[in-house]
């Protein structure tokens, strides 16, 4: 019995190391799958719409979560995003979250005040 307990204690670091390596490999595969899906969806959206929207794809509890900010003033873009996401993900379980895209407002240009040239004292 003491031999068995000794072997368990001696083998536990190896078992923990193997378990952590398997966990790290699983996490890496999941991240690779998320990146691959996001690139595929981004390419499909940009091929049809141009650089109008940028999706974020995550895998949560075996369900793909797709989040896309769409322009509110262009409902045709939202409809096209829906159809493209449906084509890319097909029969896989996914959730689509459409968010309001911030309107692009150009920064106001104010004339710069002309500064009088002043000399500062320098001790160097």
Fold type of domain 2-100 = GMP Synthetase; Chain A, domain 3 (3.30.300)
Low-confidence ranges of the chain (pLDDT < 70): 104, 111-122, 124
Residue 62: which region, alpha, beta or left (left: phi > 0; alpha: psi -120 to 50)?
A: left
Residue 43: predicted pLDDT: 93
Alpha carbons 6 and 122: distance in angstroms, whole number = 75
What are the residues whose beta carbons fall under 8 Å from the beta carbon of 34, sequence distance 6 or more? Answer: 57, 58, 59
Q: How many CA atoms lie within 13 A of 114 on its CB side?
A: 1
Per-residue model confidence as pLDDT tens digits over 89-111? 888 899 999 888 877 677 777 76
Q: First vs last Cα of the chain: how many Å apart? A: 81
Q: Mind giving me the DSSP string for 14-25?
A: HHHHHHHHHHHH
Show me where the domains of the chain are located.
2-100
């Amino acid at each position: 019995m003491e031999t068995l307990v000794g072997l368990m204690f001696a083998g536990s670091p190896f078992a923990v190391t193997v378990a952590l390596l398997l966990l790290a490999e699983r996490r890496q595969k999941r991240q690779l799958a998320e990146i691959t899906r996001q690139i595929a969806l981004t390419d499909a959206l940009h091929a049809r719409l141009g650089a109008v929207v940028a999706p974020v794809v995550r895998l949560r509890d075996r369900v793909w979560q797709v989040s896309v900010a769409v322009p509110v003033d262009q409902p045709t873009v939202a409809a096209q995003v829906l159809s493209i996401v449906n084509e890319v993900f097909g029969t896989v379980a996914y959730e689509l979250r459409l968010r309001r895209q911030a309107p692009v407002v150009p920064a106001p240009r104010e004339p710069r005040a002309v500064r009088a040239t002043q000399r500062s004292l320098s001790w160097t």
